[in-house]
């Protein structure tokens, strides 16, 4: 059921779901997923409930760290101005 909800929502709506879940149940939706098997499904659920700018920043960090020029260029070209600013702010925290 959670998967059905998360897959049919935008990223902003998924963030709202995660925030409401935390308010109602006093625990993070990500913490509830610790018992989910297999690990690929758990990773999918975590990524769906994570802000997109955080995911982009993590991928950009990996691409730069491994000197993957093609991946770095691809990630940077996919970002719009406000998305770039958000990723830049998150990247500074990595």
Tens-place pLDDT, residues 16-64? 888 888 888 888 877 777 766 677 677 777 777 788 888 888 888 888 8
Which pLDDT band, with edges at 50, 70 and 90, does 12 fall under?
confident
Which is nearest to 20 in space by CA: 31, 9, 28? 28
Q: Would you list the DSSP string of 12-58?
A: HHHHHHHHHHHHHHSS-HHHHGGG-SSHHHHHHHHHHTS-HHHHHHH
Both structure tokens of 89: 């702010």
> How many CB atoms within 10 Å of residue 81?
7
Q: Quick one: pLDDT at residue 41?
A: 72
pTM higher than the cut 0.85: no
> How many CB atoms within 10 Å of residue 51?
15
Q: Quick one: pLDDT at residue 1?
A: 63
């Amino acid at each position: 059921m959670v998967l059905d909800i998360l897959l049919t929502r935008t990223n902003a709506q998924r963030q709202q779901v995660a925030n409401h879940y935390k308010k109602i149940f006093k625990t993070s939706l990500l913490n509830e997923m610790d018992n989910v098997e297999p690990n690929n499904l758990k990773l999918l659920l975590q990524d769906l409930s994570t802000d997109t700018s955080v995911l982009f920043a993590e991928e950009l960090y990996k691409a730069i760290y491994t000197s993957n020029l093609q991946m770095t260029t691809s990630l940077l070209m996919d970002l719009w101005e406000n998305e770039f600013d958000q990723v830049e702010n998150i990247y500074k925290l990595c």
